[in-house]
Each structure stands twice: as C-alpha cells, then as structure tokens.
C-alpha cells in the first residue's frame, strides 16, 4: 500500500522511536536499581504466569469499582488485540496487496473481533476521558489538604489527556482506515461496524479515498511510533510495569509485617526510609506501576475523613519525582530530599491507620502503606520525630509493659470471680488465652475478657492465662515504627512462652493475633495463634458450646482490619454472630469485608490523635447507623473502644450499641 | 561547658507500691522503677544548653543500687556523654543531707560549671538536694527554674513564684539549679542514641555513708479513707440553704 518513500520514512522512524523508548526504559530500571533489597529479576521472570494471568483475566480490576473495571478490561483486551493488529497493519502497509488470511474463517474471526473491539475501545476511552475531564469524577481527584507536587498535578491531567487521545486517535484512525479500505474495494460483512461507516464515503472519488486511507494509516501507526518515546514517561507504562510489579511482589507474612531488622548488624546505618534510596527496589517499582486510578483512597480512612494522607498521592508524587530527577537518579545518585518533603507529609505518615485497604485494592499490587511504615521507622528511630503522645506510649510500654501505662501487677484484676486458671500454676495447657493489654486494663476490654473466659470455662477447655506475666506484644510500637521497642517486647514474651507448654494461643484482639502470628514468626517465634472468632466458631461447629439464639434485632458487623484484610478472616466472626441471631439478621455496611472501613485505632492511632478532618470512628459509626441495625458487633478491643466512643460523640446511643461477638455468645450460653 | 545532671530512679507513678514488712518503706521487688520525671526535664535542659552552645559535656550522676544504671543508660541514650554511678544502699536515699554530701564529694572532683537537678524527686519529694549541693559546692543556687539563658560566665534563670509571678535572677557560674517540670519537651532516644549509649562509660564510685544517716523514716502508710455522710432532714428551704452553706464553706466551690 505504502509508496517507497513512505516505507523508508516508516522504517527510519520505527528504529529511532524504538531506540528512544528503549533508552528511557533502561533509565527507569536504573532508577529502580537505586533502591535497597535488589529485586531478583530471575525470580520475577519465573513468575511470568502470574503476570500473564493478571493481565488476561484483569481480575485485580474487579476488587472494587466493578463497572469501571469491566470497561478497563475491554480497553485492555482491545488494546492487546491491537498489538497484533498493528503488526498485520504494518505488513499491509509494507507488502503490496497483503491481506491477512483473506478467505479463511480465522481471518474472518480476526476481522470481526478487531471491528467489535475497536468500537468497544473507542467507547471505553471516550467514557474514561469524559469521566476525568467532563464528569470530573471525584474519585480521580486528590483533594486538599493532601500534599501533591505541582509537576504531578499538571502532569496527571496532561498525561491522561495525552494517553486518552492517543488511544482515541490510534484506534479511531485504524478503524477509519478499515472503512476507507472497504469503501475503496467492496463491502465486507466480517467488519460490520467499519462496513457501516464506509457507507459515509460512498460518492467520494477513488483518489480521495486512497489518500484518506494513507492518512489514516499514518495516523494509526505513525502515532504509535511517535508515542513510543513518551510512553515510558507516561502512566501508560503501567501496561508493563503493572504486571511486572505483581510478579515482583515481596512475600510478607501479612501485609503490615515488615522484615525483621537486625540491630546487631553494625553495617546498617539507616533504619527505615528517609530518602528514596532507602526504599526497597520493589517499592520504587510501585511508582512506575501506578496508573493513578486512586482506588486506594476510596475507603482510606485518613483520606475519607479529610486528613493529609492519600496513598494515591504518595505513589503519584513518587512517579513525578522520578520523572523530574530521572537523569540524576538513573546515574545511581540520590537526590538529597527527605521523603517527607515530597512524597507525603509527616502528618500524613502519622495519619495512616495501617488498615491495609490501599494494599488490598490496588490493581497493580502497590503497597503505599509499606512505604509509610518504612518512613515511620526512620522518623522514630533515626530522627525521634513523632506525635508527643506516642512518646508517652513508648515510655509506658518500656516501663510498665503495656501502652496504658498501668501497673503490671494489675493485669489479673479482670479475672476476679471468673475462675481463670493461671499458667504459673498450671504450667501446661492446651490453650493459652492471651487477653492482651486492652483485655486486662480497659473497662470494656475486661468485660470481653470475662466473656471469653466464660466461654472457655463452659466449653471445658484446658486453658490458662499468663496474667501478670503477660506483656504487650509490641503491635503499636512496630506499626508506629519503633522496631527496637517491638523487638525488646517480643524477646521478653519469648522468654515467658519458653517457660510453659501450650498448643495454641487464643487472642481476642486481632492486633495481638496478627502480631503473635505473623510478626513473631518473622522474629523466629513460631506459635499457633487463632483469633477468638475462629476459636469460638470451632467450638460451635464441634458442639462444645451450644449458643441459644437470643438476638431479635438486626446486627451489623464491623470487620477489624487486622483480622480481615491482614489475615483474610471474614467468615468466622459472621458465622459466630449468626449462631446468636434469633429474629435478627446481619445487615452489612456498604464498606464491609475486604473493603471494610477502619475504626481509626490501627497503626498506633489508638494512642495519638490527628486533629485534621473528621474523626474516623465517628465516620464509621455513621456508616453503621445507616444500616438501621440496632447493634454493631465488633471482634476487636480497639474497634470496641473506638466505636463506642463514636456512638457517644455522635449522639447515637439511642440508635445503636456496640458489642463484642464474644459477649454475645457468652450471653447465649445457659448456666 | 561541663554540665552535671542529677538523675534519680523512683517508683513509677502507676507502679504497684506495696509496703514492706517494717512499714518504713515500700517492698521494692514488685516495683516498676523509672527516671524521676522532673530529672528528665533537667536532663533535657542540659542537652538543649549543650546543643545551643554546640560544645560541652553532659554527665549523668545518679545514686543508688545497681538498678539505677538503667536510668543512667536512658540518659546516655538521649544524648548525655557519660555517667557516674554512686553506689549507695537504698536506705541513704531518704536522707537529703547525706545524699547531698555524697554527691558533693563526686561533683567537686569533676569541677562542673552547671549542676542541674529536677526540683524534687517523685518518691520522697523533699526538694533539698539541689540547694544543699549548691551550698556545699560554694556555687550559686536557684530553684524552680522554668527557663534558662546562658550568657558568658553567668546564667539567667526565670523562676516561678507563687500566684502567677515570675522572677529573673542572674547567677555567676558555677551554679546549681533545680528545674521545674514542663519547661521543655523531653526527647525520646533515637536508635543511634540507644546503640551509642552501650559504648558510653558509666563510672562506678562506691560510697558508704549509710551508717552516718541522721534522718530515717519511721513509718509510711496509705492514707486512710473514710466516708462521712450527712443526711439533711428538713423542709426544702432549709435543706437548700444548708446545701448552699456546705458548698460555700466546706467544699468551697464558690
């Protein structure tokens, strides 16, 4: 089809643009190489199936926003089909009279799918552009008071417009080109849409149609070539970087369980991340994988309540920081700027409740929460810069072994009259019941502990409590970034565990649960830990207890982050709850299970308060109230405290009450 | 600038405080010991002075049994340069004159420019150590400092007086100053500090002044609580005026 001159121009352009693109890509990978903990590219390559599977199935897109996810899938599938189409079209341009399997049913299938997908991609992209620029979907925007760099703000709009228009013009021209080809030859039933459009060109003279065919061919394929050098700079690079990022995912015991820091290693001079080069390579890759969809901030408790944090802004800032400093970073030099000056503010870092929503929903496997945890480690251990109340918490944990700062001698006070056996007397048991600090000191927590003890007694479990020998697991310390304090506490608890024999630990607090199960395993302390919801559920299944249903009013269940997202347990607490319902039903909140909304206490936020914006617990209580349920059931001491406070401070005491599932079960067991 | 900070280890405010068998002190085995909070402010003030001058040495001096090394290390982690541990039996820690004498012996040798201490200890709360030491060292002395300004060879100290009054005094160095709580925000040790503290030196000095003790504690006890209920049986007017009278003269709410 093409003339000789056109062919030469095309080939020269192809080589030049591919070269430029490749050059930028190598730079990007050198930027990634600046990080610590090198990515094992061999392993990543071996993981190819995961990447291909994610790309083809588009399954990570459907975790939230299913409609948009579906449209994205259409665009993605259509676009990949277009990679093949482009090759065929290039051959068509270069080889005279080339047609792909003209009289073969495979050729027909090819043409018909290209035709249909062209229309779908066009509609999809028009929708996406309209959503961003006309409808101005709030979910794509990052609102104040989040810090977002100027280059990111400008770049985001420009990038979206450019990428959107590129797809529009590329696919559109290709589609028109097909219609001109049909108009120039004869109608083609295997390209119904193009066939239809070709009717418009009836009456055009043959030469004009030929010129139009050339123009649209160049618009479709020449544009691809011109876009290639820009491609790596744009967020469109997520097409490769997304799947690669998923393939390169770091394996963690749970989403907030970072690797153990070896404090004996004198070679480590930097703990946590102060600057970009202190982040692991896999997390630098996150910046390139991000497509700026901002799904991560949809139910981010900090962002939704108007705080300075947006996990999306974090990754976007990262990306534009790379773009701005590409040449310096690619040389392997660092830029002397603190993460808290450009990636997220210090207050944003402290606003994170480590609820894990951002990590859970990210379609390309980014982990903004982990960046935050690493930034906190630096702020705490290197710079001693953190909320003042957190300092008091550390000191209380150091001095009294619990974040409440109450006497370690008072840990057994809740046991009075509940016949709770103690490990120091029994020495050997089946089940070690870990009441936790809140279960020992907080008034509501104590009642929950008493309920659990009641259930254990009635199920005739051979169990024991550590009582005054128990000590905080160090959860809050670890999430706030005080790894050193966490390890000190873990070591002390290890010594206590070593004195006794037990098969299993039952906890009522998901924070204790996750920390003992995952973070202690990271420390080399292997324990079999279950949450009370799982244990009680087991007791019911095995008929060791028989709850008498008594709840006649509707109940909504608030998923604790460290039970749900962090440990994938959504069913056990619901099953337990079901066992006590008589007339009442479970009414789910809009944000439930893996999309649940944090109570506001996680990540150490229990101990300090970020005053910007609305209070998270009040927001969550309003969500619970809107279900019209009369009870919000919780399965975490922190959640219980936060929700109860939220109920009181939003004047909802008449509308809803907060109960732990253990309390509901205990109440259902006859004497 | 050579600054000594006197740091005492005391039972934590939330610690269990069981009485010992003689009822003259607490049973220490089940007590959680912490750095005396006012001393923490004194330490912070010393560190701030050193940082402002960008030179000098901060030395933690503590007295008591071996367990007090914990608070010395804590101070070293926060940035003090070295520690001195005066090994002394716990009994002496209740006689302020002996405490001051014991400290003075050590402090004299070191020739400090500044001796800072918390205004009082949270256990016995006598508030005399800093003053007595100032006297014994022949140094100038100020108490209840809420702000310090080092100017050449003297120091200006803002003191808190009664009823919302303040006073600026100027003292020549060397000086012994007791620090009021709340004048600064004590820091949390960085990891570098904690690691570095392990390599810092704590000099142990034995001293046995226990036998010379002049002041001893006879008995300590937990205040007895008692309930007093007054039932007002009268008609409304009389009852109300009685209640108003109680509020006025006994509870003093007006």
Give the integer Cα–Cα distance in Å for B149 and B156.
5
Mean pLDDT of A490-516: 97
Judge contact between B85 and B72, C-beta under 8 A.
Answer: yes
Q: Across the interface, do B14 and A405 touch by the CB < 8 Å criterion?
A: yes
Cα–Cα distance measured from residue A198 to residue A189, given in angstroms and rounded to the nearest whole number = 12
pLDDT value of residue B92: 60
A278-292 average pLDDT score: 95
pLDDT on residue A144: 80
Q: Which of A380, A381, A382, A472 to mutate to test the interface with B (most CBs of B within 10 A)?
A: A381
- Quote the minimal CA–CA distance from A271 to chain B in Å: 8
- Which range is least confidently modeled, A267-271, A298-302, A349-353, B225-229? B225-229
CA-based angle A446:A449:A454, to the nearest 5?
A: 125
Nearest to B118 by CA among B197, B33, B8: B8
Instruction: Judge residue A651's burial from the number of C-beta atoms within 10 Å of its C-beta, 0-12 exposed, 13-18 middle, 19 or more buried.
Output: exposed
Average pLDDT of the residues in A547-557: 96
Give me A512's structure tokens: 């204790």
Residues from chain A that touch B16, judged by Cβ atoms under 8 A, are 407-410
Phi/psi of residue A573, each to 5°? -65, -35
Asked whether the beta carbons of residue A407 and residue B185 sit closer than 8 angstroms, the reply is: no
At B207 the pLDDT is: 78
**B74: closest CA of chain A, how far (Å):** 11
* Separation CA A510–CA A518 (nearest Å): 11
How confident is residue A183, by pLDDT bands cut at 50, 70 and 90? confident
Least CB-CB distance to A400: which of B14, B30, B185?
B14
Lowest model confidence (mean pLDDT) among A207-211, A564-568, B96-100, B224-228: B224-228
Q: What percent of chain A has pLDDT over 90?
A: 76
Q: What is the pLDDT of residues A379-437, one digit of tens each?
A: 999 999 999 999 999 999 999 999 999 999 899 999 999 999 999 999 999 999 999 99
Mean pLDDT, residues A123-133 taken together: 90
Alpha-carbon A5 to chain mean position? 51
Which pLDDT tens digit goes with each residue over B65-95?
999 999 999 999 999 999 999 998 766 667 8
What pLDDT is recorded for position A75? 82
Question: What's the rounded mean pLDDT across residues A545-559?
Answer: 96
When mean pLDDT is compared across A163-167, A269-273, A603-607, the lowest value belongs to A163-167
Q: Is A135 exposed, middle or buried (0-12, 13-18, 19+ CB in 10 A)?
A: exposed
pLDDT band at A2 (very low <50, low <70, confident <90, very high): confident
What is the residue-wise DSSP string for A243-299?
A: HHHHHTPPP-SSTT-PPPP-TT-TT----S-SSGGGSBHHHHHHHHH-----GGGTT
Q: In this structure, are residues A597 and A304 in contact, taking their beta carbons and an 8 Å threshold?
A: yes
CB contact under 8 A, B190 and A381: yes
- Higher-confidence position of A117 and A525: A525
Find, among A593, A531, A536, A529, the residue nearest to A564 by Cα.
A593
- Residues of chain B positioned with their CB less than 8 A from the CB of A399: 12, 32, 34
Of B12, B188, B193, nearest to A391 by CB-CB distance is B188
- Mean of per-residue pLDDT scores for chain B: 90
Nearest residue in B to A383, CA atom: B190
Look at the domain B2-212 and name its fold: Rossmann fold (3.40.50)
Lateral strand order in the sheet of A431-434: A463-465, A431-434, A504-507, A529-531
Supply the pLDDT for residue A140.
86
Percent of chain A with pLDDT over 70: 100
Residue B215 has pLDDT above 90, yes or no: no
Structural domain boundaries of chain B? 2-212
Rounded (5°) CA angle A596-A601-A605: 130
Which residues in chain B are closer than 8 Å to A410, comparing Cβ atoms?
Answer: 16
Residue B220, both tokens = 């300590």
Q: Angle, nearest 10°, between helix axes A281-289 and A311-324?
A: 100
Q: Give the distance from residue A396's alpha carbon to the nearest chain B alpha carbon, in angstroms.
A: 9
CB proximity list for B132: less than 8 A, separation 6 or greater:
B96, B97, B99, B100
CA distance B222 to A205: 109
Closest of A222, A238, A192 to residue A58, by C-alpha: A238
Residue A157's pLDDT band, with cuts at 50, 70 and 90, is confident
Structure confidence at residue A201 (pLDDT): 87
| Confidence tier at B16 by pLDDT (50, 70, 90) | confident
Query: How far is it, in rounded angstroms, from Cα A175 to Cα A162?
Result: 19
- Closest residue in B to A263 (Cα–Cα): B195
Q: What is the pLDDT of residue B22?
A: 86
The pLDDT tens digits for A300-345 are 999 999 999 999 999 999 999 999 999 999 998 989 999 999 999 9
Residues of A with CB under 8 A from a CB of B: 263, 271, 380-384, 386, 388, 391, 394-396, 399-400, 405-410, 484
Which among B187, B45, B57, B200 has a CA at the least distance from the CA of A383? B187
Q: Average model confidence (pLDDT) for chain A?
A: 93
The token pair at A110 is 């090819």
DSSP A41: H
**Residue B83 dihedral angles phi and psi, to the nearest 5°:** -130, 155
List alpha helices for B119-176, DSSP H. Answer: 129-137
At B11, phi and psi to the nearest 5? Answer: -65, 135
DSSP run (H or E) holding A555: strand A555-557
Nearest to A574 by CA among A617, A534, A602: A534
ipTM > 0.85 for the complex: no
Average pLDDT (A134-155) is 88
Say if CB A634 and CB A661 are below 8 A apart.
yes
* Dihedral sign of CA atoms A165, A167, A170, A172 in order: negative
Q: How many helices (H) and strands (E) does chain B have?
A: 6, 11
pLDDT tier at A17, thresholds 50, 70, 90: very high
Residue A277 in contact with residue A378, Cβ under 8 Å?
Answer: no
Using an 8 Å Cβ cutoff, are A356 and A255 in contact? yes
Q: What pTM was estimated for this model as a whole?
A: 0.90
């Amino acid at each position: 089809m093409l003339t000789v001159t056109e062919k030469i121009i095309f080939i020269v352009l192809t080589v030049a643009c591919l070269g430029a693109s490749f050059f930028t890509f190598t730079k990007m990978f050198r930027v990634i190489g600046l990080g610590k903990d090198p990515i094992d590219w061999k392993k990543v390559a071996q993981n190819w199936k995961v990447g291909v599977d994610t790309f083809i199935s588009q399954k990570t897109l459907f975790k939230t926003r299913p409609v948009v996810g579906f449209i994205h899938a259409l665009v993605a599938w259509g676009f990949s089909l277009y990679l093949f189409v482009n090759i065929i079209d290039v051959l068509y341009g270069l080889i005279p009279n080339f047609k792909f399997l003209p009289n073969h049913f495979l050729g027909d299938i090819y043409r018909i799918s290209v035709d249909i997908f062209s229309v779908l991609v066009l509609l999809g992209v028009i929708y996406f552009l309209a959503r961003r620029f006309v409808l101005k979907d709030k979910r794509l925007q990052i609102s104040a008071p989040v810090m977002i760099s100027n280059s990111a703000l400008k770049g985001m709009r420009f990038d979206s417009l450019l990428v959107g228009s590129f797809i529009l013009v590329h696919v559109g021209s290709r589609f028109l080109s097909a219609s001109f080809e049909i108009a120039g030859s004869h109608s083609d039933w295997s390209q119904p849409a193009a066939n239809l459009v070709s009717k418009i060109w009836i009456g055009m003279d043959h030469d004009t149609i030929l010129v139009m065919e050339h123009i649209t061919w160049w618009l479709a394929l020449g544009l691809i070539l011109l876009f290639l050098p820009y491609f790596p700079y744009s967020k469109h690079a997520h097409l490769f970087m997304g799947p690669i990022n998923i393939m390169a995912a770091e394996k963690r015991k749970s989403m907030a369980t970072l690797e153990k820091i070896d404090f004996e290693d004198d070679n480590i001079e930097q703990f946590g991340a102060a600057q970009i080069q202190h982040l692991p390579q896999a997390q630098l890759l996150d910046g390139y994988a991000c497509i700026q969809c901002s799904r991560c901030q949809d139910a981010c408790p900090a962002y939704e309540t108007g705080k300075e944090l947006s996990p999306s802004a974090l990754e976007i800032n990262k990306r534009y920081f790379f773009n701005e400093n590409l040449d310096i970073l690619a040389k392997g030099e660092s830029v002397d700027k603190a993460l808290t000056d450009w990636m997220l503010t210090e207050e944003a870092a402290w606003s994170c409740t480590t609820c894990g929503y951002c990590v859970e929903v990210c379609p390309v496997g980014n982990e903004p929460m982990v960046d935050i945890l690493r930034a906190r480690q630096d702020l705490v251990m290197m710079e001693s810069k953190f909320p003042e109340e957190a300092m008091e918490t550390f000191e209380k944990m150091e001095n009294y072994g619990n974040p409440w700062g109450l006497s370690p001698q008072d840990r057994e006070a809740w046991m009075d009259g509940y016949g709770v056996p103690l490990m120091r007397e029994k020495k050997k048991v089946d089940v070690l019941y870990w009441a936790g600090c809140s279960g020992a000191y907080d008034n509501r927590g104590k009642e929950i502990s008493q309920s659990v003890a009641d259930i254990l007694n009635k199920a005739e479990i051979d169990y024991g409590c550590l009582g005054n020998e128990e000590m905080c697991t160090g959860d809050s310390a670890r999430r706030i970034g005080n790894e050193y304090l966490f390890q000190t506490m873990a070591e002390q608890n290890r010594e206590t565990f070593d004195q006794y024999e037990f098969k299993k630990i039952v906890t009522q607090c998901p924070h204790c649960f996750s920390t003992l199960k995952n973070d202690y395993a990271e420390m080399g302390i292997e324990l079999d830990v279950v949450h009370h919801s799982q244990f009680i559920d087991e007791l019911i299944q095995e008929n060791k207890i028989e709850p008498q249903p008594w709840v006649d009013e509707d109940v909504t269940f608030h998923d604790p982050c460290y039970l749900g997202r962090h440990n994938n347990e959504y069913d056990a607490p619901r099953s337990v709850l079901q066992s006590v319902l008589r007339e009442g039903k479970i009414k789910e909140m809009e944000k439930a299970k893996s999309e649940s909304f944090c109570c506001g206490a996680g990540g150490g936020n229990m101990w300090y308060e970020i005053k910007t914006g609305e209070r998270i617990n009040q927001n969550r209580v309003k969500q619970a109230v809107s279900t019209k349920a009369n009870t919000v059931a919780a399965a975490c001491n922190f959640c219980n405290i936060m929700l109860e406070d939220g109920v009181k401070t939003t004047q909802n005491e008449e509308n809803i009450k907060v109960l732990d599932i253990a309390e509901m079960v205990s109440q259902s067991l006859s004497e | 600038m050579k600054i000594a900070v006197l740091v005492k280890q005391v039972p934590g405010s939330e610690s269990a405080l069981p009485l010992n068998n003689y009822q003259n002190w607490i049973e220490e085995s089940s007590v959680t010991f912490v750095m005396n909070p006012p001393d923490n402010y004194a330490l912070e003030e010393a560190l701030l002075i050193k940082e402002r001058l960008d030179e000098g040495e901060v030395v933690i001096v503590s007295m008591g049994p071996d367990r007090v090394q914990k608070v010395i290390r804590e101070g070293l982690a926060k940035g003090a340069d070295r520690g001195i541990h005066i090994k002394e039996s716990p009994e002496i820690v209740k006689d302020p004159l002996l405490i001051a004498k014991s400290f003075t012996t050590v402090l004299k040798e070191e020739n400090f420019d500044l001796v800072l201490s918390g205004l009082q200890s949270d256990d016995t709360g006598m508030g005399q150590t800093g003053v007595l030491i100032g006297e014994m060292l022949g140094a100038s002395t100020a108490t209840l400092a809420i702000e310090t300004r080092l100017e050449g060879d003297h120091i200006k100290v803002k003191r808190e007086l009664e009823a919302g009054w303040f006073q600026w005094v100027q003292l020549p160095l060397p000086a012994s100053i007791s620090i009021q709580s709340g004048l600064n925000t004590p820091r949390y040790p960085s990891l570098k500090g904690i690691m570095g503290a392990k390599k810092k030196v704590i000099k142990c000095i034995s001293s046995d002044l226990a036998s010379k003790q002049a002041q001893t504690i006879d008995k300590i006890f937990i205040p007895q609580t008692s309930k007093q209920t007054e039932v007002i049986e009268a008609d409304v007017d009389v009852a109300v005026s009685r209640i108003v009278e109680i509020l006025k003269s006994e509870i003093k709410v007006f």
